[in-house]
Amino acid sequence: MKNNKWIKSLALLVAVVLLVSAGFLATGKNLKAEEIVADYVAPEPVPETTVTEIVVEEVPAEAPAEEAAPAEETPSEEALSAEEKLSEEAAPAEEAEPLEEAEDEAQKAEDAEEAEEKEDKEEKEDKEPKALDVNIWYGYEGEVYDYGCTIVWYSSVSGAENGQSLAYQWQIDRGNGWEDVPGANGSTYSYTLTQENVYWVVRLHAETV
């Protein structure tokens, strides 16, 4: 019997707890609904927009103007004079051939004159005596080379053509220029060495005759 009482008391307690919980839940929902309603603000009304209709008038395009026909150009006096001048300049073209022929003749005459001058020059060079190759050296006669010994100059000349004779002329320079030695006309030249002539410079002039 005691057990049944405890069970009934426990069931009653559970029912009370459920009722209290349900009451709290309902109260919380009402509060939240009121807060939402209070916070909500209605939007302002949007004014109505008036649409104005724009009418565009179409303007017909104008027809293109007809192009004027180009006027015929009349040649001016300057153009006519220029054409006449060109025709006058073209006319002497036929006379150019005789002028070219005259120039050719003048060139030929000039070439012939140059060739003749060249031949004359070659003939003159052939007639002129050719340069001779002259070599000289000296020695001495005596026991020693000293004052009193005899100085002998020898020569060798080449380049003369067959049948041509040679002419000799010994020359000395004492310090005042070249001068011929009288009588020194052979292929050799000799003199006694002294203090006066020890510094002489000697050379030989040879030519064909």
**In the predicted model, what is the mean pLDDT of residues 138-153?**
93
Are 177 and 137 within 8 A, CB to CB? no
pLDDT value at residue 33:
43
Place of tokens 């049948």: 163
Look at residue 158 and tell me if it is in a domain.
yes
Q: At 172, which CATH number? A: 2.60.40
Single-letter amino acid, residue 185: N
Look at residue 32 and tell me if it is in a domain.
no
Q: What distance in Å separates the CA atoms of residue 153 and residue 176, rounded to the nearest whole number?
A: 21
Which residue, 177, 181, 156, is CA-closest to 166? 156
Residue 140 pLDDT > 90, yes or no? yes
Q: Which residue has the higher pLDDT, 138 or 32?
A: 138
Place of tokens 């001058």: 117
Look at residue 2 and tell me if it is in a domain.
no
Look at residue 11 and tell me if it is in a domain.
no
Which helix or strand (DSSP H or E) is residue 117 part of?
helix 96-127
% of the chain at pLDDT higher than 70: 57
Going across the sheet that includes 166-173, the strands are 178-180, 166-173, 201-208
Residue 184 pLDDT > 90, yes or no? yes
Look at residue 204 and tell me if it is in a domain.
yes
Q: For the chain, how many structural domains are there in total?
A: 1
Range of the domain at 144: 133-208
Provide CB contacts within 8 A for 184, sequence distance 6+.
Answer: 168, 169, 170
Alpha helices by DSSP H, listed for the chain, are: 2-39, 77-90, 96-127
pLDDT value at residue 27:
57
User: Which two tokens mark 4?
Assistant: 């049944």
Look at residue 198 and tell me if it is in a domain.
yes
Q: Which residue has the higher pLDDT, 100 or 166?
A: 166
Q: For residue range 49-98, list pLDDT tens digits in order.
A: 444 444 444 444 454 455 555 555 565 666 666 666 666 665 555 555 67
Are 186 and 166 within 8 A, CB to CB? no
Look at residue 182 and tell me if it is in a domain.
yes
Q: What distance in Å separates the CA atoms of residue 137 and residue 188, rounded to the nearest whole number?
A: 10
pTM for the full predicted model: 0.40
Look at residue 81 and tell me if it is in a domain.
no
- 167: how many CB neighbours lie within 10 A of its CB? 10
pLDDT value at residue 201:
96
DSSP per-residue codes, 78-111: HHHHHHHHHHHHHGGGGGHHHHHHHHHHHHHHHH
Residue 36 pLDDT > 50, yes or no? no
Q: Give the 3-state secondary structure of residue 150.
A: strand
Rg over alpha carbons for the chain, rounded to the nearest Å, is 73
Residue 4 pLDDT > 60, yes or no? yes
